[in-house]
Structure 1
Amino acid sequence: MGYIQDKDKKYLKGEFDKNLKEDVYILVFVGDNCQYCGVASAIAQEVAELHPKIHFEEHRIGDDLSEEYGLKNAPTVVITDKEKYGGRIRYVGLPSGYEFSSMIEDIIDVSRRTAEVSQEVLEKLMKIDKPIIIQIFVTPTCPYCPRAVRTSHRFAILNENITGEMVEAMEFPEWADKWKVMSVPHIVINEDVQFIGAYPDEQYIEYVIQAYEKMR
């Protein structure tokens, strides 16, 4: 028995048929003594089986690709075209619960090779010419977290200098403790600027710009 129910598979097939344009890859990076790696790979494989433009690959933390992408933790799930986006749209921990929908929306955006933001936000995004890493600490039962995750991933799709990284706080408690995560979504940008909440794009980008300005 799989992880995705038949009625959900039917719905997802319809969404993929309507929206997918180019090939997209779900890369799952696994490691030793990893409680959720098997589940992450199984879910990714089930999703990939729903449409011929979606491809699943399993890699290991420590292999050449994980080193290229700068990945250290397992499981990490990357949604990519293997070229332009590299490993910049990623989930550290299992994208389950509400975050499953984030992964599906990422697949569609990456396949379309674009994401939607306002012209005002896009103009600010295009000014960023230095590496920015946005980490979003979440839990599977947080209904507000997907918005914060998706915002970072949309920004990453539109600007090659930005990486959006969901972190499942309960799977990586030592990481959450480091940043004193008490509620989610808790966002950390470049290990410097922090805020809590699922803000609209117009407010979210201001925190990104704040982190960018500190690098200048």
Structure 2
Amino acid sequence: MLDKNIKHQLQSHFSAINNPIELIIALDDSNKSKEIKALADDLASLSDKISIKNSEQPGARTPSMVVRSPISNTHIEFAGVPMGHEFTSLVLALLQTGGHPAKASNDEIEQIKSLDKPLNFEVYISLSCQTCPQVVQALNLMAATNSHVSATMIDGALFQDEVNERNILAVPAVYLNGELFSQGAVTLSDILNKVDSTSVEKTAAKLNEKDVFDMLVVGGGPAGASAAIYSARKGLKTGVVADKFGGQVSETLGIENFISVQATQGPKLVAQLEEHVNQYEVDIMKGQRALSVSADELLSIELESGATLKAKSIVVATGARWRSMNVPGEAEYKGRGVAYCPHCDGPLFKGKPVAVIGGGNSGIEAAIDLANIVDHVTVLEFADSLRADEVLINKARSLGNVTIIKSAQTTQVIGNGQKVTGLSYIDRNNGEAYELSVAGIFVQIGLIPNSEWLQGSEVALTQFGEIEVDGKGATSMSGVYAAGDVTSSAFKQIIIAMGSGATASLGAFDHLIRQGSDHSQAA
């Protein structure tokens, strides 16, 4: 099941396992069960701490594998074969169950340990989803830390009956004790905030006690990580406050234009960014959203949690998000057929007709990817010409199950109350209206900056909501700098965001020097 190189790497990792682990497997006669059995055998061969048992639980999902600690009675289950993006989730589950410390803050670990009610999490995923592993790993970490918590990863493509019964049309979809808990990307902080009713107040109180930062970075994407590193290297007291670390990059599958790295994936790059930032004394505060910025003797960032952070300088790097169509039915059917990540949700529409809204690179790439999974793809482009690269357009047109319609204005998402059944659009050339029968709609029409919280502040925004910056990343508000996709930069690329993060950080440092900061002599 596993090749020699992976086994060699795992054997090195598994040397950190101190406590016994049981792999409890539930099998049938399917090929996937054979894969689970082979995987379990390979894992057990790499450590004398790992043993295999056959499941005796009536009605257990098959094929599945439970990672269990016989000492603490923790329970982490993988229903399906956890390969692809989820292989790392399996490895981490083994290490954490075996006693290796989890990568979470002390506050988060203590909060998990304090949970005293049964919490049975089920998370439906697709193995091609790059967002799913962070959710799976957060739930697994909780389950490995507290025996009151159990976590089960379910491959939606393999357990289609459950997916259909629960009407799951977007992943990751998390259920808690049988009820829908969340859909889409959620962080460990998000989960803890929802299951621990006192967590928001506790966290806000701790944040309010923070000392003044020399530089506070708002946002944890590539621009924010770069700004934090440059600030910390100058010897400044640096903080990063963000909803989640990684930003939109965590939802990016393939990255092939990051100079010096031929190919990588978004989640891997995010993990490397966070690891790099953690090499410095940077205070990372996740699970927090900025509400407003103000200035008196110091700059203040008010957070949605009710806390306020003080700083001598600020770098805003809140990035951007997918743009919505803003048509009737879109909000109602989001997660029920309206999707924004073809890599994540594509497998849920296997053999069904879908539409892609947008004819830029993202839209045409999505159509090409989906064509290998779904029955038919219809691309709707508002303009009278496609904006994608010619090589992508030619590839899409060469596929027999891809149709491209130009000058098409989507007017409504149609559904039956539970899921998407179609959409309406107008031909902009003749004004005629049409209906298209589809099971899924993938929206790929660009980005919108995450700058709403700055409206009404002294920070000037463009007509598109982007932050106006000068050559040093300075905004119109003294001491506030900005970087990345939230700014008026001409191009929205990871490498450009990183460069602008460094520029804004150095610009803010120069501002501190000229303001006579205590750190004006920092190297």
Q: TM-score, normalised by structure 2?
A: 0.36
TM superposition shift of 1:113:
6.4
Check the 8 A contact 1:114/1:157 in 2, yes or no.
no
Partner of 1:118: 105
Note if contact 2:17-2:100 (Cα within 8 Å) is conserved in structure 1: no
- Alpha-carbon distance in 1 for matches of 2:169, 2:133: 17
Q: How has the CA–CA distance of structure 1 residues 97 and 130 changed in structure 2, closer, same or farther, with 3 Å as cutoff?
A: same
Q: Distance in 1 between matches of 2:101 and 2:9?
A: 22
Q: Is the 8 A contact 1:149 1:166 kept in 2?
A: yes
1:17-96 paired onto structure 2 within 5 Å: 17=15, 19-31=16-28, 33-57=29-53, 59-60=54-55, 63=56, 66-67=57-58, 72-86=60-74, 88-96=75-83
Cα offsets for 1:21-67 (capped at 9, x unmatched):
12212221123x4441111011110111112222223x14xx3xx25
Q: CA shift at 1:200, angstroms?
A: 2.1
Is residue 172 of structure 2 the alignment partner of residue 185 of structure 1? yes
Q: CA RMSD in A?
A: 2.0
User: How many angstroms apart in 1 are the aligned matches of 2:10 and 2:159?
Assistant: 29
Once the 2 structures are TM-superposed, how far is the Cα of residue 20 of structure 1 from its aligned partner? 1.4
In the alignment, which of 106, 109, 132 is matched to residue 93 of structure 2?
106
Tell me if the contact between 2:135 and 2:188 (Cα under 8 Å) persists in the aligned partners: no
| In structure 1, C-alpha distance between the alignment counterparts of 2:71 and 2:64, rounded to whole Å | 18
**Structure 1 range deviating more: 45-54 or 123-132:** 123-132
How many residues get paired?
197
Q: Which has the higher helix share?
A: 1
Whether the 8 Å CA contact 1:189–1:208 is kept in 2: the answer is no
Match in the other structure for 2:188: 201
Contact persistence 2:122–2:153 (CA under 8 A): yes
Instruction: Measure the CA separation in 2 of the matches of 1:113 and 1:9.
Output: 19
| SS of equivalent to 1:90 | strand
Residue 185 of structure 1 aligns to which amino acid in structure 2? P
Within 2, Cα distance between the matches of 1:191 and 1:178?
A: 13
Larger Rg: 2
For the residue of structure 1 that corresponds to 2:88, the secondary structure is: helix
Work out which structure has the larger RCO, using CA pairs closer than 8 Å and 6 or more positions apart in sequence: 1
Following superposition, the deviation at residue 116 of structure 1 comes to 4.0
Instruction: Please report how far the alpha carbon of residue 134 of structure 1 lies from its aligned counterpart in structure 2 after TM superposition.
Output: 0.7
Q: Is the 8 A contact 2:135 2:186 kept in 1?
A: yes
1:97 to 74, 80, 84: 84
Distance in 2, matches of 1:177 and 1:80, equals: 29
1:154 shift after superposition: 0.9
Asked if 1:150 is matched to 2:137, the reply is: yes
State the identity %: 19
- Report 1:168-183 matches (<5 A): 168-183=155-170
Structure 2: 5+ residue runs without aligned partners? 198-523
Which has the larger displacement, 119-128 or 138-147? 119-128
Aligned to 1:128: 115
The answer (yes or no) to whether the contact 2:20–2:70 under 8 Å persists in 1 is no
Rounded to whole Å, the distance in 2 between the matches of 1:35 and 1:176 is: 21
* Paired AA for residue 87 in structure 2: F
For residues 181-201 of structure 1, give each alpha carbon's deviation from its aligned partner in whole angstroms, at most 9, with x where no partner exists.
212111111222421223221
Amino acid across the alignment from 2:27? V
Q: 2:26·2:64 contact (CA, 8 Å) conserved in 1? A: yes
1:142 Cα deviation (Å)? 1.2
For residues 53 and 130 of structure 1, the distance between their equivalents in structure 2, rounded to whole angstroms, comes to 30
Q: Match of 1:94, SS?
A: coil
Q: Distance in 1 between the 2:175 and 2:43 partners?
A: 29
Structure 1 residues 122, 8: CA separation in 2 closer, same or farther (over 3 Å shift)? closer
TM-score normalised over the length of structure 1: 0.82
1:12 aligned to 2:7? no
* Greater strand fraction, Structure 1 or Structure 2: 2
